[in-house]
Amino acid sequence: MSAFADRLAEAVRRDGPLCVGLDPRFEMLPAYCRKFPPGVAIEMFCLKVLELVRPFCGVVKPQAAFFELFGPEGFSAMQSVLWRARELGFVTILDAKRGDIASTATAYAGAAFGEDVWNADALTVNPYLGQDAIEPFIRAAREAAPPRGLFVLVRTSNPGGGLFQNALSDGVPFFRRVAEAVVDWNDGGTGERGFGDVGAVVGATHPKELGELRAAMPGVWFLVPGYGAQGGTAEDVRTAFRPDGLGAVVSSSRGVVFPFRPDDADWEAQIVEAARKARAELRSASGG
């Protein structure tokens, strides 16, 4: 079965580097969805978004927090959305930023990749707990059928992310140490196109660092948040790509999913238009 990195490369070759982030905010949903209980409403909305954006992207990223906000019913919606996305042929990245010590990390990985639970293709993980907190995720990703992937937080897109990520450690910013570890963690997980299964999250809001990290980690997939509503532009993410146009998926959440006001009758058309525009911009930025 194809390595995760190769499946992601195929998706990007076919559909471009746009990754649509699913952050369903109840108060922003179309009026007709908000008539239903929140869990039902966010599920209904996300399932429709999947169909609307399918022609424009091959990767989707549900954000666990916005589902968790509605408790067990929210997670039931998240499960439907992840399962349906897989059925529609998307590569799915569960953005849950999990991280814990050994046996607990194994449980989180079991949830993320388990066929009966979320069955996601990839999971975002937080590196702060160190070596033996990441290894169980890697092991679980490689043992799954088909194999799955991870995206480790390296340099996040938020303005206050530098507090620890930019602290100097032996003269280099701390996030560079994490980046080095990510390169190491790819040992044994490289696919046919030279990419590994342990990717890095690097924000679009730091274009200079994005380019430096691209050069330092040529075999690592990047998940680049912060494009669109958070202020990152297509120009900002240009450096995230390798010359062959691969190497990064760029996620847009609010920009693509919520371009409308709740009472707009043409909200579906607005999503389609936003996805079309993001796809074109990012295709061009990637050179792919």
CA–CA separation, 288 vs 285, rounded Å? 8
231 lines the binding site for its own copies (CB under 8 A): no
Please choose, from the candidates 86, 74, 150, 76, the residue with its C-alpha nearest in 3D space to the C-alpha of residue 115: 86
The residue whose two tokens read 């169909």 is 51
97 is catalytic: yes
Applying the rule CB under 8 A, the residues between 83 and 142 that interact with its own copies are 97-105, 107-108, 110-111, 114, 116-118, 126-133, 135
CA–CA separation, 126 vs 12, rounded Å? 25
| One of 29, 63, 236, 288 touching its own copies (CB under 8 A) | 63
CB of 74 to its own copies, least distance (A): 8
Q: Do residues 127 and 153 lie in contact, with contact meaning Cβ atoms separated by under 8 Å? A: yes
71 lines the binding site for its own copies (CB under 8 A): yes
Interface characters, 140-169, with its own copies (x: CB under 8 A): -------------x--xxxxxxxxxx-xxx
CB of 265 to its own copies, least distance (A): 27
The residue whose two tokens read 């998706």 is 11
Which residues contact residue 49 at a Cβ distance below 8 angstroms, ignoring those fewer than 6 apart? 20, 22, 257, 271
Which residues contact residue 163 at a Cβ distance below 8 angstroms, ignoring those fewer than 6 apart? none
- Sign of the Cα torsion 282, 11, 43, 143 reads negative
| One of 4, 45, 56, 70 touching its own copies (CB under 8 A) | 70
222 lines the binding site for its own copies (CB under 8 A): no
CB of 280 to its own copies, least distance (A): 27
| Stretch of 66-74, 207-215, 216-224, 264-272 lying at the interface with its own copies (CB under 8 A) | 66-74
23 lines the binding site for its own copies (CB under 8 A): yes
> Active site residue: 35, 48, 61, 97, which one?
97
Which residues contact residue 30 at a Cβ distance below 8 angstroms, ignoring those fewer than 6 apart? 45, 260, 262, 264, 267
Applying the rule CB under 8 A, the residues between 263 and 282 that interact with its own copies are none
Please choose, from the candidates 66, 53, 67, the residue with its C-alpha nearest in 3D space to the C-alpha of residue 255: 53
Q: Do residues 24 and 42 lie in contact, with contact meaning Cβ atoms separated by under 8 Å? A: yes
47 lines the binding site for its own copies (CB under 8 A): no
Cβ nearer to its own copies, comparing 167 with 265: 167
> Which positions are catalytic?
97
Residues that bind its own copies (CB under 8 A): 23, 63, 65-66, 68-73, 75-76, 79, 97-105, 107-108, 110-111, 114, 116-118, 126-133, 135, 153, 156-165, 167-170, 174, 177-178, 181
